[in-house]
C-alpha cells in the first residue's frame, strides 16, 4: 500500500466476536463498494464472516461483543497478549450494550427464566475494557462502517483521529428532522455523541444513546425536560438500560 507515494506496511488485522449479534462485523463486510479499498489497506488474517484464514499473527484485534463466560475471558487475555492494539468494536464491546440487561437479574434467575431446567454457563456481562486493557473504543449499535474505515486509515497512517464531540441533535437538525421531544418522545440525542448521522430520529425513533455520551452534556437539564414531559426516573432508567452506554451521566459504571 502507498500513502503519499511512500510504501507502507499493511497491518495484520483480525476480527473476533464474543457475546453479540455480529451486526458490527456484518457492517464491515456488507458494503461492497468500499470493501475492496478496505481490504487493500490492511491484511485481514482472521475474520470468520468473510475469510477462512485463522492466522494468529495479527497486530490489530477488533473485538466485537461483550464477555459473558470464563472461556471468553481466557480468549480475550490471549488476544491481548498477541495484539499490539486492541479495538473494542461496537456498543456491546465498548459498554456491554444490550447484553448488560442480563445483569439486571442474577445469573441463576436469568437461567431459570430463559432456560428452565437446562441452565447455561454464564457470568455477569462485562464490557471488554472491564476484562483487558483496550486501546481504542469505537461505539455504535451497529458501528458506522464509514467511521471505522476512517479510523483504520488514521491508524495505518499514524494520524490522530477524533470522534465528534457534539451531540446527535446537531446531525439530526442538519438532516432537518422534526424534533421528537416536541412529540412527547424521550430522545437522548442531546447528550449522545454524534457520528451516526442520526438514523433513529430520521426514522421517527428516539435516540437511545448507543454511541455513549457527547463530550459536553447538560444531562441534569435533559432529565428536567423528561420530568416536565411526565416521565419518571423508572421510565428514564428503562431506556438507559437498553444500551448501558449513558450510565456514566448518572454516575453509574
Ligand atoms: S453493538 Fe449492536 S450491532 Fe454490534 S454486535 Fe452488539 S448488538 Fe450487534
Ligand atoms: S429528535 Fe432527538 S436528536 Fe433530533 S433534535 Fe430532537 S432531541 Fe435532538
Ligand atoms: S441516533 Fe442514537 S441510538 Fe440511533 S444510532 Fe445514533 S446514537 Fe445510536
pLDDT tens per residue across all 253 residues of the chain: 555 555 567 899 999 999 999 999 998 887 677 777 777 888 999 999 888 999 999 999 999 999 999 999 999 999 999 999 999 999 999 999 999 999 999 999 999 999 999 999 999 999 999 999 999 999 999 999 889 988 988 888 888 889 999 999 999 999 999 999 999 999 999 999 999 999 999 999 999 999 999 999 999 999 999 999 999 999 999 999 999 999 998 776 5
Does residue 137 share a domain with residue 49?
A: yes
Residues 177 and 144 occupy one common structural domain: no
173 and 131 assigned to the same domain: no
Q: Which domain holds residue 237?
A: 168-246
Give the count of domains, the chain. 2
Give yes or no for residue 27 CB within 6 A of ligand 3: no
In short, whether 168's Cβ falls inside 6 Å of ligand 3 is yes
| 58 lies in some domain | yes
Residue at 89 is within a domain: yes
Q: Considering only CA atoms, which of 36, 39, 33, 31 is closest in space to residue 15?
A: 39
Q: For residues 39 and 124, state if they share a domain.
A: yes
Of 156, 179, 204, the residue at which a domain comes to its end is 156
CA atoms within 13 A on the CB side of 188: 25
Q: State residue 36's pLDDT score.
A: 72
Ligand 1 site residues, Cβ closer than 6 angstroms? 20-24, 64-65, 90-92, 97-98, 141-142
Q: For residues 137 and 33, state if they share a domain.
A: yes
In a domain, 253, yes or no: no
Report pLDDT for 107. Answer: 92
The model's pTM? 0.93
Atom of ligand 2 nearest to the CA of 192: 3
H-type alpha helices, 44-127? 70-82, 91-95, 107-115
Q: Is 198 in the pocket of ligand 3 (CB under 6 A)?
A: yes
Evaluate whether 25 touches 74 at the Cβ level (below 8 Å).
Answer: no
Inter-axis angle of helices 233-243 and 219-228, nearest 10: 130
Which CATH number do you get for residue 22? Answer: 3.40.50.700
Q: Which residues pair with 15 in a beta bridge?
A: 47, 62
**17 and 84: one domain?**
yes
Q: Is the CB of 214 under 6 A from ligand 2?
A: no
Q: What share of the chain is helix, strand, coil (3-state, %, to 5)?
A: 45, 15, 40
Residue 177 in contact with ligand 2 by CB distance below 6 A: yes
Task: With respect to residue 100, please indicate whether it lies within any of the assigned structural domains.
Answer: yes
Is residue 53 one of the residues assigned to a domain?
yes
Q: Is the CB of 25 under 6 A from ligand 3?
A: no
Residue 61 inside a domain? The answer is yes
The reply to whether 84 and 132 lie within a common domain is yes
Q: Tell me: do 175 and 152 sit in the same domain.
A: no
Task: Say how far residue 240 (Cα) sits from the centre of its chain.
Answer: 15
Amino acid at each position: 500500500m502507498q500513502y503519499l507515494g511512500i510504501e507502507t506496511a499493511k497491518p495484520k488485522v483480525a476480527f473476533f466476536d464474543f457475546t453479540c449479534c455480529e451486526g458490527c462485523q456484518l457492517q464491515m463486510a456488507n458494503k461492497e463498494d468500499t470493501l475492496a479499498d478496505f481490504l487493500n489497506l490492511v491484511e485481514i488474517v482472521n475474520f470468520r464472516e468473510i475469510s477462512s484464514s485463522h492466522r494468529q499473527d495479527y497486530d490489530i484485534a477488533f473485538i466485537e461483543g461483550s464477555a459473558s463466560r470464563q472461556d471468553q475471558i481466557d480468549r480475550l487475555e490471549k488476544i491481548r497478549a498477541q495484539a499490539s492494539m486492541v479495538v473494542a468494536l461496537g456498543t456491546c464491546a465498548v459498554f456491554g450494550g444490550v447484553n448488560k440487561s442480563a445483569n439486571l437479574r442474577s445469573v441463576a434467575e436469568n437461567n431459570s427464566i430463559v432456560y428452565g431446567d437446562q441452565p447455561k454457563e454464564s457470568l455477569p456481562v462485562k464490557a471488554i475494557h472491564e476484562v483487558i486493557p483496550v486501546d481504542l473504543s469505537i461505539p455504535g449499535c451497529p458501528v458506522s462502517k464509514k467511521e471505522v474505515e476512517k479510523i483504520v486509515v488514521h491508524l495505518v497512517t499514524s494520524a490522530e483521529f477524533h470522534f465528534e464531540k457534539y451531540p446527535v441533535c446537531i446531525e439530526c437538525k442538519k438532516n432537518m428532522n422534526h424534533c421528537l421531544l416536541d412529540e412527547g418522545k424521550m430522545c437522548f440525542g442531546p447528550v449522545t455523541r454524534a457520528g451516526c448521522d442520526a438514523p433513529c430520529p430520521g426514522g421517527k425513533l428516539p435516540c437511545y444513546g448507543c454511541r455513549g455520551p457527547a463530550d459536553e452534556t447538560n444531562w441534569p437539564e435533559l432529565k428536567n425536560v423528561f420530568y416536565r414531559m411526565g416521565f419518571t426516573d423508572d421510565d428514564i432508567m428503562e431506556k438507559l438500560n437498553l444500551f448501558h452506554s449513558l450510565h456514566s451521566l448518572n454516575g453509574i459504571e
